[in-house]
Amino acid sequence: MPIFEYVCKRCKRPFEALVMGSQKATCPNCGSGDLEDKFSTYAVRGASGSGWRGEQFAGGCGRAGGT
């Protein structure tokens, strides 16, 4: 299920919302529907299922043995 990140244009509060189908998110603080989508990264689950591996796709900086 998709979780989206928003910033409310009315009260400036950032929040996350689970949005399914044609649902529209609203600010949990003030109830406004005037929202700005935030750019967010995603996490990828490792093939072994041992944990989240989003950091390995973030570039090569700081990885041991990276190029």
In order of 1, 12, 20, 21, 39, the CA distances from 26 in angstroms are: 17, 13, 13, 15, 17
Q: In this structure, which topology does domain 1-41 adopt according to CATH?
A: Rubrerythrin, domain 2 (2.20.28)
State the chain's mean pLDDT as an integer.
76
pTM, entire model: 0.56
In angstroms, rounded to a whole number, what is the distance separating the alpha carbons of residues 49 and 53? 10
Q: Which two tokens stand for residue 18?
A: 């689970």
In our burial notation (b when 16+ CB lie closer than 10 A, e otherwise), range 16-50 reads ebeeeeeeebbbeeeeeeebeeeeeeeeeeeeeee
- Quick: pLDDT tens for 44-58: 555 555 555 444 545
Reported confidence tier of residue 26, pLDDT bands at 50, 70, 90: very high
pLDDT of residue 17: 92
Reported confidence tier of residue 64, pLDDT bands at 50, 70, 90: low
Q: Is 53 helix (H, G, I), strand (E, B) or coil?
A: coil
